[in-house]
Chain A
Amino acid sequence: MRAVPLTPLGRPATLAGRHPVGARAKFATRYFLRLLRTRPSYAVGYAIVAVVVLVAIAAPLISPYSPITADPTVYLQGPSLAHPFGTDNTGMDVLSRVIYAPRIDLTIAVIGTALSAIIGTFLGAWVGYFQGTSGIRNITSVTTMRAADVLQAFPVFVFAIALVAVFGQSTTTIIFAIAFVNIPIYLRLMRSQVLSIRQMRYVEAAFVSGMPDRWIVRDHIVPNAIGPVLAQLSVNIGWSILLTAGLSFVGAGVRAPTPEWGSMIATGFPNVMTGQWWPSAFPGLALAVTVYGFALIGTSIEFMADPRRRRTLAAAEMSA
């Protein structure tokens, strides 16, 4: 890579460097590409997730058969040219179902995680900022933490099943159940971040200058605390996909015949012992690879969000 002259702050001293916004965007993209080049494993993660999302969107175009039409004459056929992933015990083509499944899985996981992140971060910032102060805000802060303790003492899986049972089995309730069990994670994460950031001098300066609390939280605390939350977000999406699959495996998740990786594993389960491995193996493989991709993305975000590691990457790249 040709040497780019840098200003003392490490920004590229190019023409774009004179426009603040343009320079930031250009710098960010160049840094991102640099990261992917030096750490190819992260690139694999982004590639996996990109492929899964594309497959989910383009499912009707690329799937060879309909995912919910059963052809009883071809049931439990092994992988072949006509059915690359074989057929399951009702005659449905496994490949088509594996292709359609991310639509449900990703939707549930992404929306559920996003919901829990928004609610959890907001609550966590509030709790963390007002902890230790006197009065009613402190009381609500302490009560929220104790409530989170009680919620986290629950076996997660049983709790999720109970939530789905309470509100009826549908995609919306699964999203809700996933969001609910994930809120304490973001609550605790954000709270510990906020607790350490509010000690910082610039927060004290903002406070002394008369800035209202809510502005301090919005403009100083949240942007600085958001790094680990973003990393957690990606890992959490992967974990939520696993939880959805687990719920469907037990029968408390997505209903048949909607294609979903967990319920596919469940329908193939009785056949594994008699040797027909393909109805369960392929969905599980797709599931594992997808979650792995999200985990890699999470690691890369964690790396990018930590300023110390960012600088070591820049130094390593400049000496290369």
Chain B
Amino acid sequence: MAVVRYIAGRLVFLIPQIIGIVLVSFLLIKAVPGDPATLMLGPMATPHTIAELRAQLGLDKPLPVQFLIYVDKLAHGNLGTSWQTTQPVLDDLRTRFPATLELVTYGLLLALAIGIPLGVASALGKRGPLAKLGGFYGLVAGALPDFWLALILIYIFYSLLGWVASPIGRIDVTVTPPHMITGFYTLDSILTGNWAALRSSVHHLILPVLTLGLVNAGPILKMTQATMERMLEADFSLYGRLCGLPEKLVIRRAFRNALPSVITIVSVLYGFLIGGAVLIEIVFSWGGAGQYAVQGVLNSDFNPVLGFVIFSALFSLVVYLIVDLVYLAIDPRIRH
């Protein structure tokens, strides 16, 4: 029951945070110059039609009223319409957000698969060549521009070697996307038994996931290495060795204690990458949520940007909540 109370307490905090985020993004977006009505109607529009459209969109009302109208619509699940796609933002995000999530999730899984083993190996190897390699990799991965790495990988694996599919979109143009259940093309293909779609979507996922994985393995590696080193020198490890525990067991215990820091950095990366994978989405024409928001900002299309910010903020907060629950599960000290 304490767990339920804890969750309830965190959820209560969620509402004022969301309102704060919505307020700031609303003010920011409204400050962007560019009149949506003029942009929607084009250069041939008469002042009369522009004024009519503005009234229809509610753009002539004072700002606080506009904000309250927006919040009211939000409470009813209406995120407005994007004038670029002429679809409701909620529908747009329902296809685009899972696209970004799929990309980011697989990318982070790859980053974990690279970063954690290398980090642990570097920590065990102290001053040896592996530690130096780990340090070097961490620094270089943080210095590489991810969009540039994506282009280099495209050049090597597509233009030169022809090993991967054309880097445009999530799936081959000739293949129909699977029936949407989760929004993840890979999962949906498996769930509906659509093997052509599965092959095609995996083929298209290879390069962007590789880019994200290589770049984000850096911070994970650094954090794992630093924390493992600290844990291996901590009192409990010393005690274990003095008691005659085999080194393998000591390492395993140390790793278990290093996990919270690693989980923290994964959660931070997760929240960051929802918006941070934008450049990779643009390079690969992924059709993801970040790309959607960027197009919105550059074209004075407010609703997608607001919708994206709210989605991504909600997502970050949910991730942090889940992470805290995971802490509760793996760290017995917190429970008491």
Contact = CB atoms under 8 A, between A and B. Distances in A.
Q: Are A and B subunits of one complex?
A: yes
Interface of A: 146, 149-151, 153-159, 161-163, 165-166, 168, 235, 238-239, 242, 245-246, 249-252, 262, 265, 268-269, 272-275, 277, 280-281, 283-284, 287-292, 295-296, 299
Nearest to A266: B147
A280 B290 CA distance: 23
B229 to A, nearest CB: 13
14 contacts: A165-B298, A166-B31, A250-B279, A250-B294, A250-B298, A252-B297, A268-B151, A273-B158, A273-B166, A280-B151, A281-B152, A287-B148, A288-B145, A292-B143
Interface string B10-30: 000000010011001100110
The 3 closest A-B pairs by CB, nearest first: A155-B275, A284-B148, A291-B143
Interface string B116-157: 000000000000000000000001101111011101101100
Contact of A158 (B149, B159, B167, B297): B297
Given A150-B21, A157-B275, A262-B145, 10 more contacts: A151-B24, A155-B276, A158-B278, A166-B28, A168-B33, A273-B155, A277-B151, A284-B145, A288-B144, A292-B140
Interface string B309-336: 1001100110000000000000000000
Interface string B252-287: 000000000000000000001011101100110000
A106 to B, nearest CB: 15
A273 B159 contact: yes
B28 A162 contact: yes
A283 B144 CA distance: 12
Contact of B309 (A158, A235, A242, A273): A158
A298 B318 CA distance: 33
B279 A246 contact: yes
A251 B298 contact: yes
A272 B159 contact: yes
A287 B31 CA distance: 32
B305 interface: yes
A291 B142 contact: yes
A57 B32 CA distance: 35
A158 B29 CA distance: 11
Interface secondary structure of A, over-half rule: helix
B122 to A, nearest CB: 15
B298 A161 contact: yes
Instruction: Specify which of B20, B145, B160, B297 lies most central, judged by the most chain A CB atoms within 10 Å of its CB.
Output: B145
B221 interface: no
Contact of B276 (A157, A162, A273): A157
Nearest to A277: B155
A242 B279 CA distance: 12
Nearest to A280: B151
A252 B298 contact: yes
Contacts of B139: 292, 295-296, 299
Contact of B275 (A158, A242, A251): A158
Nearest to B291: A250
Contacts of B140: 288, 292
Contacts of A156: 272, 275-276
B184 interface: no
Q: Identify which of A146, A268, A277 gathers the most chain B CB atoms within 10 Å of its CB.
A: A277
A162 B306 CA distance: 11
Contact of A155 (B17, B279, B293, B298): B293
A284 B152 CA distance: 9
A227 B51 CA distance: 57
B97 interface: no
Contacts of B25: 154, 162
